[in-house]
Amino acid sequence: MIPKYFFDLDGHDPDDTGEDLTDALEARKAAIELLGQVLEDDPMYALQGHWRVTISDRLRRQLYTVSVVVESTATVLGRE
């Protein structure tokens, strides 16, 4: 049986269809690509706090979390 994985974007509806992928590592790769596409589509997405994808297996057990973190550097801002 091909494993199914679910990708839940923080702040959005849970993934209701899932995706058939070879294994958890493929799922992790898919999650990274997904978050990249979402951020490219809407760069403000990361600043709205919705910057995390949680990968679960078909039993909804959480396997990985892929995050994008936006950090400000105080010293750089101070110089501007």
Handedness of CA 6, 9, 14, 15 (dihedral sign): negative
Contact call for residue 5 and another protein (CB under 8 A)? no
Query: Which of these, 65, 29, 67, lies nearest to 50 by C-alpha position?
Result: 67
Cα distance between residue 25 and residue 29, in whole Å: 6
Stretch that binds another protein, among 21-29, 37-45, 56-64, 67-75 (CB under 8 A): 37-45
Stretch that binds another protein, among 21-29, 33-41, 56-64, 65-73 (CB under 8 A): 33-41
In the set 15, 26, 32, 57, which binds another protein (CB under 8 A)?
A: 15
CB closer to another protein out of 40 and 71? 40
Beta bridge partners of 21: none
Stretch that binds another protein, among 21-29, 32-40, 59-67, 69-77 (CB under 8 A): 32-40
Q: What is the DSSP letter of 14?
A: P
Beta bridge partners of 19: 5
The residue count for binding another protein (CB under 8 A) is 16
